[in-house]
Amino acid sequence: LKEEERMDLIYMGIIAGFFGITWLLVRLVEKVK
Amino acid sequence: MTANGILQLGLYMVVLVALIKPLGGYMARVYLAEPCGLDRILGPLERVIYRMFGIRPEDEMSWKAYAGAAILFKLAFFFLLYMILRIQGVLPLNPQGFSGVAPDLAFNTAVSFITNTNWQAYGGESTLSYLSQMMGLCVQNFVSAAQGMAVLVALIRGFTRRTASTIGNFWVDLTRSTLYILLPLSFIFAVLLVSQGVVQNFSPYKNVPLLQTITYDNPKLDANGNPVMTADGKPIIEPVQVVEQTLPMGPAASQIAIKQLGTNGGGFFNVNSAHPFENPTPLSNFLEVLAILLIPAALFYTFGKIVGDKRQGWALLAAMFVIFIPLLILCYSGEQAGNPLLNAAGVDNTSGNLQTGGNMEGKEVRFGIANSALWATATTAASNGSVNAMHDSFSPMGGLVPMVMMQLGEVVFGGVGSGLYGMLAFVIVAVFIAGLMVGRTPEYLGKKIEAFEMKMASIVILVPCCFVLLGTAVASVTSSGVSSISNPGPHGFSQMLYAFSSMSNNNGSAFAGLNANTPFYNTLGGIAMLFGRFWTMIPVLAVAGSLAAKKYVPPGAGTLPTHTPLFILFLASVVIIVGALTFFPALGLGPIAEHLMLHK
């Protein structure tokens, strides 16, 4: 992979990871009650 | 402060307050699905949109489904926007032939626009094609603003519904916010801006001869771009004559209208609304700064109308003004006082018929000090982030005001929707504290405020604070962070503090002076913007779901009235105390230290 393509993948990973964690948070929020 | 300046600020306030009721009432009718006047024209279009995307408007969503839709919607738009920016070089509407945006800048820009932050680490006229600006950024200006309004409406439904399991339909709220509110207002504003000279075209940039030739000295460079030296090691200087200037063009007016109305703030041109093609006249300046606070302020009336007690909306609005007006005065007086070192050097800083006086560095002569201070205060109060003057050139106290406005959590007016739902998180905290203090049941609008709501409200308030302080701390101790600042000492620290205050609170204004287009700031700032937007929005929706499920408690002798002057002052105090306790030490290292050094 070229340097730029590797960076593209890293940023896609950051976004996917963030929204994944956020969705987990949504699922877990009810347990805070 | 001058009488002329005070008069202009007063006129602004009068016009703003006069528009709150008509616009707020209109928006309430839109969200209550009552006839609003535009139904006949836009109703068929709304139904076509639902049919096209398979949306059944009568289907209600639980808060989790609502949050899931909001997250998926933004995830899809991130990928679309990132792709547009990366491959803009092969896409149409690119008369200047700009190549694709670098990955770190594309990440930062895409996150910035999907989160309604509009932090810009690029110069629009030197980086982006017309297609990227229109299809990429302008679309986000609409939908990110509409998303904030949708979440607010869901929260309001939480207060108004009784033992319900749903809080509305995200797609319907998003569509109605865009179609009935943002699009018509933007159209009117864009036409008004074009009438003032804001450009709106697809022409290539124009080279025009200068009326006055400019000559300056420049070091002579060799074929590799290095300075050519004399035998004794000094650079050879040669005169350079500039005879023409490149004028950027583009579809600016349509983007600027929504940039202001949607509290987005991302400028079409690099210097934002200081650019003469983006904000040409004092009247365009008045309209643009009015547009910043128009929808956020009117939403308070909308809130009061939907919950069936307009006094509640006016009370929250009054709390905003209690914070806004003193900070505006501090900013204006700080700028009008000018630089004491220049005063000591004998420079005439006084205002009069021939000069505006005060600190005019970084400000546009056609706007002056009062309008620059008003814009700086309003744009940071409202999570807008556009600028008509360079905040880096403000006096330490003048620059402190926009920083504090952002650090308060963008709840003084705040973003469209996000400002009011942020303020309602503070209301929950205030009601809870007041209840503990006087032994009354914590209730708001007939709903009991319990531990779950308090936990969620605390997350809403604390998450942006964490990312401001953590981001600034990391930037302060790493070479990647410090190498971007352009001033040593407290002012350099202020540049970093301002950058993370702006990104974490989804404001997007820049202090300038900081070289933000580096992989460090692009990546860390992008992550801060994501948390600042979504980790506040999700707890708000959780509160909406929790409140909607509760029974209505009629007001009794133990109910704390939340529309009185006492509660207004109490709420404003809670906002200020939380902000002061969190950020006072950091402000002490930045603008306060700089102020003391200037006046020693």
ipTM of the shown complex:
0.95
What is the pLDDT at residue B176?
97
Q: What is the pLDDT of residues B514-571, one digit of tens each?
A: 999 999 999 999 999 999 999 999 999 999 999 999 999 998 888 889 999 999 999 9
What is the pLDDT at residue B31?
96
Do residue A32 and residue B82 have CB atoms under 8 angstroms apart? no
Q: Is the pLDDT of residue A31 over 80?
A: no
Contacts of A23 in chain B (CB under 8 A): 68, 71
The answer to whether B391 and B400 are in contact (CB under 8 A) is no
Residue B104 has its nearest CB partner, among A7, A12, A23, at A7
Residues 6+ apart with CB under 8 A from B385: B117, B118, B119, B263, B264, B265, B266, B379, B502, B507, B508, B509, B510
The answer to whether B140 and B114 are in contact (CB under 8 A) is yes
Best of A29, A31, A32 to mutate (most B CBs within 10 Å, chain B): A29
What are the CA-CA distances from residue B404 to residues B116, B360, B582, B587 (Å)? 19, 22, 11, 9
Contacts of A8 in chain B (CB under 8 A): 86, 103
Q: What is the pLDDT of residues B559-571, one digit of tens each?
A: 889 999 999 999 9
What is the pLDDT at residue B438?
83
Amino acid at A11: Y
Q: Is the pLDDT of residue A32 over 80?
A: no
Q: Is the pLDDT of residue A30 over 80?
A: no
| Cα B572 off chain centre by | 20
3-class secondary-structure state, position B442: coil
> Rounded to whole angstroms, how far apart are CA atoms B579 and B411?
11
The answer to whether B250 and B130 are in contact (CB under 8 A) is yes
Beta strands in B228-356 (DSSP E): 237-247
pLDDT < 50 regions, chain B: none
B240 touches chain A (CB under 8 A): no
Do residue A26 and residue B71 have CB atoms under 8 angstroms apart? yes
B532 touches chain A (CB under 8 A): no
User: Long-range contacts: B343-347, Cβ < 8 Å, 24+?
Assistant: none
The answer to whether B237 and B219 are in contact (CB under 8 A) is yes
Do residue B71 and residue A7 have CB atoms under 8 angstroms apart? no
Contacts of B534 in chain A (CB under 8 A): 18-19, 22
How far is A14 from chain B, CA to nearest CA, in Å? 8
Name the closest residue on chain A to residue B545, using Cα atoms: A30
Please, which residues 293-332 of chain B have a Cβ atom closer than 8 Å to chain A? none
A11 touches chain B (CB under 8 A): yes
Q: Is the dihedral of CA B335, B337, B340, B346 positive or negative?
A: positive
Contacts of B71 in chain A (CB under 8 A): 19, 22-23, 26
| Residue-wise burial string across B286-307, b where 16 or more C-beta atoms lie within 10 A, e elsewhere | bbbbbbbbbbbbbbbbbbbbbb
pTM over 0.80: yes
Do residue A23 and residue B452 have CB atoms under 8 angstroms apart? no
Query: Nearest CA to B511 among B489, B491, B531, B490?
Result: B491
Best of A1, A11, A23, A33 to mutate (most B CBs within 10 Å, chain B): A11
What is the pLDDT at residue B19?
97
